[in-house]
């Protein structure tokens, strides 16, 4: 297992795509966090449902997950789909014919890059959001326990997304298809579904089990549930996310990785 892990880790870091995506993620999150912080900081005092104080800070920083999760998902899925796209899967399975071990090693191998992406993401949302909140809003709350916890869990969430990405890439090994589905789901399907579901009382709980909803619950803050309250407890949210990672990976193992290679 050690050697399989090392091999998978080397596969990731000997290509350039992951740090290209990290730079894109950082740039995107600085911009989004600044925009959100501005909308809170410059909101009229009687702005109704606009979060204030510590909640404004946490909600701003939570874009690392609600907006940034597409990047670790893509990084993770690429780790698997490039194997199929460039047919390196052949050589990979020649040296590791145990396909379950191969898959587990690949899921675990993205954790370091996932954590790094989490740290980059946290720095980006702080860089984009904190100055505006501090100067124009109610403060950046960087010493607040809840805010710090939320930021740390943001790092964990991003690493989990990378693992989910590997599982998803195994289920959908066609690289283009995997990226299209990830972009469509994260940028359109899930946000719309969460908004729509939250309008219907009977279905609002369902939104919490969508992967993005669960991850927001892990952070304890969400753009989509800014009025707060109806997110899952953190432990449940973590289980839901881990469930997605294991679920996708298991389905991929039973489909893609059971087939003949080549």
Partner 1 sequence: MTPPSLVVDGLTKQFGPLRAVDDLSFQVRPGAVTGFLGPNGAGKTTTLRMLLGLTRPTAGRTLVGDRPYVDHPSPGRVVGAALEASSFHPGRTGLGHLEVFAPQVGVSRARCRAVLEAVGLDHAARQRVGGYSMGMRQRLGLATALLADPPVIVLDEPTNGLDPEGIKWIRGLLRQFAAEGRTVLVSSHLLREVEASVDDVVIIAQGRLRHASSLTALREQASPATYVVAPDAAALADLARSHGWRTVPERDGLVVDGATAPEIGAAAYRSGLELHELTRRDVDIEELFFRLTRATPVPPPAASPPPATPPSPGPAPLKGDDR
Considering only CA atoms, give the Rg of the chain.
Answer: 19
Question: Is residue 3 close enough to count as binding partner 1 by CB under 8 A?
Answer: yes
Tokens of residue 126, six digits? 């702080």
Question: Is residue 24 close enough to count as binding partner 1 by CB under 8 A?
Answer: no
Subset of residues 53 to 92 that bind partner 1, contact rule: CB under 8 A: 82, 86-88, 90-92
CB nearer to partner 1: pick between 62 and 109: 109
Alpha helices in 44-144 (DSSP H): 53-61, 63-66, 70-85, 88-95, 99-109, 111-135
Question: Is residue 143 close enough to count as binding partner 1 by CB under 8 A?
Answer: no
Cβ proximity of 76 and 164 under 8 Å: yes
Kindly tell me which residue out of 46, 97, 145, 201 binds partner 1, with binding defined by CB under 8 A. Answer: 97
Question: Is residue 100 close enough to count as binding partner 1 by CB under 8 A?
Answer: no
Q: How far is the CB of 125 from partner 1 (least distance, A)?
A: 29
Cβ proximity of 32 and 132 under 8 Å: no
Q: How far is the CB of 95 from partner 1 (least distance, A)?
A: 4
Question: Is residue 145 close enough to count as binding partner 1 by CB under 8 A?
Answer: no
Q: How far is the CB of 258 from partner 1 (least distance, A)?
A: 9
Per-residue buried b or exposed e for 59-92, using 16+ beta carbons within 10 Å of the residue's own CB = bbbbbbbbbbbbbbbbbbbbbbbbbbeeeebeeb
Question: Is residue 96 close enough to count as binding partner 1 by CB under 8 A?
Answer: yes
Quick one: which segment of 2-10, 181-189, 203-211, 212-220 binds partner 1 (CB under 8 A)? 2-10
Residue 153 to residues 191, 204, 211, 219: CA-CA distances in angstroms? Answer: 21, 24, 15, 6
Count of residues in contact with partner 1, rule CB under 8 A = 27
| DSSP conformation class of 15 | S
What is the Cα–Cα distance from 158 to 22, expressed in whole angstroms? 12
Q: Which residues bind partner 1 (CB under 8 A)?
A: 2-4, 6-7, 10-11, 14-17, 82, 86-88, 90-98, 260-262
């Amino acid at each position: 297992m050690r050697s399989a892990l090392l091999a998978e880790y080397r596969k990731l870091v000997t290509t350039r795509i992951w740090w290209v995506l990290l730079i894109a993620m950082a740039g995107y999150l600085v911009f989004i966090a600044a925009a959100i912080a501005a909308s809170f900081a410059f909101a009229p005092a009687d702005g109704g449902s606009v979060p204030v104080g510590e909640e404004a800070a946490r909600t701003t920083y939570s874009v690392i997950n609600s907006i940034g999760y597409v990047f670790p998902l893509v990084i993770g899925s690429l780790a698997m789909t490039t194997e199929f796209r460039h047919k390196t899967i052949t050589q990979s399975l020649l040296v590791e014919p145990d396909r379950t071990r191969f898959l587990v090693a690949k899921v675990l191998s993205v954790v370091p890059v996932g954590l790094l992406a989490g740290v980059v993401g946290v720095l980006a949302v702080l860089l984009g959001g904190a100055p505006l909140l501090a100067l124009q809003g109610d403060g950046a709350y960087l010493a607040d326990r809840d805010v710090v916890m939320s930021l740390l869990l943001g790092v964990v969430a991003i690493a989990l997304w990378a693992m989910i990405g590997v599982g998803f890439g195994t289920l959908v090994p066609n690289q283009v298809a995997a990226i299209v589905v990830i972009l469509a789901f994260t940028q359109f399907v899930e946000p719309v579904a969460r908004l729509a579901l939250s309008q219907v009382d009977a279905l609002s709980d369902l939104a919490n089990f969508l992967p993005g909803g669960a991850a927001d619950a892990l952070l304890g803050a969400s753009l989509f549930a800014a009025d707060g309250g109806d997110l899952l407890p953190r432990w449940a949210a973590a289980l839901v996310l881990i469930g997605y990672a294991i679920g996708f990976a298991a389905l991929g193992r039973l489909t893609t990785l059971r087939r003949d290679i080549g």
